[in-house]
Amino acid sequence: MPFIAPFLSRNKALGYPRFRNYMMMRFSIIMALNMQAAIIAYYVYQLTHDKLALGMIGLWEVIPAVGVSMFSGHFVDLREKRTLLVRCFFAYLLLSAFFVSLTWPGIDGLISTRGIVWLIYAGIFAGGALRAFISPSSFALMGMLVPKDLYPNATTWSSAAWQAGAVLGPLAGGFMIAYAGFRTSLVCSGLIEVVGLLALLRIPKQQILNKTREPIFKSLGEGIRFVFSTQIILAALSLDMFAVLFGGAVALLPVFTDDILKAGEVGYGWLRAAPGIGSIITLLILSFVPLGKKPGVKLLICIAGFGITTILFGLCGHFGTEPVFSYSGFAVSYGFLVAFLMLLAGGMFDAVSVVIRGTILQVYTPDNMRGRVAAVNTMFISSSNELGAMESGITARLMGTVPAVVFGGCMTLLVVAVTWFKAPALHTLSLHGGEDKDTDKKTN
């Protein structure tokens, strides 16, 4: 086809088979985990009908994700990344089996509803600890699969794989809940993890770049000092952390779906998938049209757009909840359409942030510190996502669901304004810093 050659010339990272296997691995694990998270969140809400219970899911994941990340980066830098990822995959498969067991027929006769919920929290806690290792390992591995001059393009496609999984996971979860129940849905998420594991095993083991055995706390201190002394990295991480912290409307989707929009399980799946659909649209555009000049300014504009769409999403119920037509077994109202479009637009804005932040980390991080810097990134991002879920649950309990989401969007806009004045390095940001590095040949 005539468009293939120009497409590949603009996306040279795809010419590396190892990187394509990496994308399949990343897509599969993200799809499986997002599918599992959507199923578990809806299951918890069906068991409890408690908004705070949804916020507690975020709390139980963020505690180990942040706490273990303080140490995981040190171990990632000293060990072979592909092997670490394989071990994480096997642990996730065991965790999937644990969640399946909690939905088995008759389990509610052996364990109380409260006990099941607390066991789910325990599984989520274990998953948060695993994330503290899989995120820095994955980040460090990608930097070893393509030359440094291809990092922007590779980050775009890595983000596209992530977002594709983030779209299909919740969407598949919503449909599977509606048509097959919770247990079968969780089994399917485990099978998708197996696909990712097989793709990972096709990537050769990589060399260990940092072989210096130094005291763990000294190693951790160096990683943290590097992040806090590099204004561009610190600004990008802080901006994303606080924006997502206050813009965590997705955590309240079960409430919006059941209590406000009356959209049911299928509607929940579509709303949960909407941000990812928007992200994929943007990432496909970026594969043809690079970010170009002033990416830091574009980052701030997109985070502001994310805040505005969060506010409008929170007000979706005011646009009408009476059905205007039916589709795929659920009634669609104007409020549902507004919610879907705002989540879609928010995903489009967020995709630009993800690409810019990911490229900043790849370009400005020394090779021997990738694990530690990625671990700090995990602490920032994990804390923002999961604490954002907790913040949404608490503020929804105190203020009400709609005021909580609107408040979060307004706070996101405030964060953008503060960052504009406090981080002038973003105004002149370049995504082509660092020296080029010739990695392995495309034939690997």
CATH number at residue 194: 1.20.1250.20
Question: What is the distance between the alpha carbons of residues 325 and 331, in angstroms, rounded to a whole number?
Answer: 6
The mean predicted confidence, pLDDT, of the chain is: 78
Percent of the chain's residues with pLDDT above 70: 81
Question: What is the average pLDDT across 202-212?
Answer: 73
pLDDT of residue 122: 92
pTM, rounded to two decimals: 0.68
Q: Of the spans 28-42, 317-331, 385-399, which averages the highest pLDDT?
A: 28-42
Given a cut of 70, whether residue 378 has pLDDT beyond it is no
With 50 as the cut, is the pLDDT of residue 185 above it? yes
Q: Considering the domain boundaries, does residue 287 fall inside one?
A: yes
Judge whether 47 lies within some domain. yes
pLDDT at 325: 74
Binned at pLDDT 50, 70 and 90, residue 200 comes out as very high
Residue 420, in any domain of the structure: yes
| Residue pLDDT, tens place only, 379-431 | 666 556 666 666 677 777 777 878 888 888 888 888 888 888 877 777 776 66
388 is a domain residue? yes
Residue 224 confidence (pLDDT) above 50: yes
437: in domain: no
Higher-confidence residue of 387 and 2: namely 387
Residue ranges making up the domain that contains 39? 14-201+214-428
User: CA-CA distances (angstroms) from residue 395 to 267, 315, 389, 400?
Assistant: 24, 16, 10, 7
pLDDT at residue 209, rounded to an integer: 61
Give the pLDDT confidence score for residue 9 in this predicted structure: 67
pLDDT at 129 over 70: yes
Q: Distance between CA 395 and CA 402 in Å, rounded? A: 10
pLDDT at residue 438 tops 50: no
| Residue 176 falls inside a structural domain | yes
Residue 35 has pLDDT above 50, yes or no: yes
Q: Residue 3: inside a domain, yes or no?
A: no
Residue 9 lies in a domain: no
Q: How many domains does the chain have?
A: 1
- Please write the tens of the pLDDT for every residue from 264-277: 777 877 887 788 78
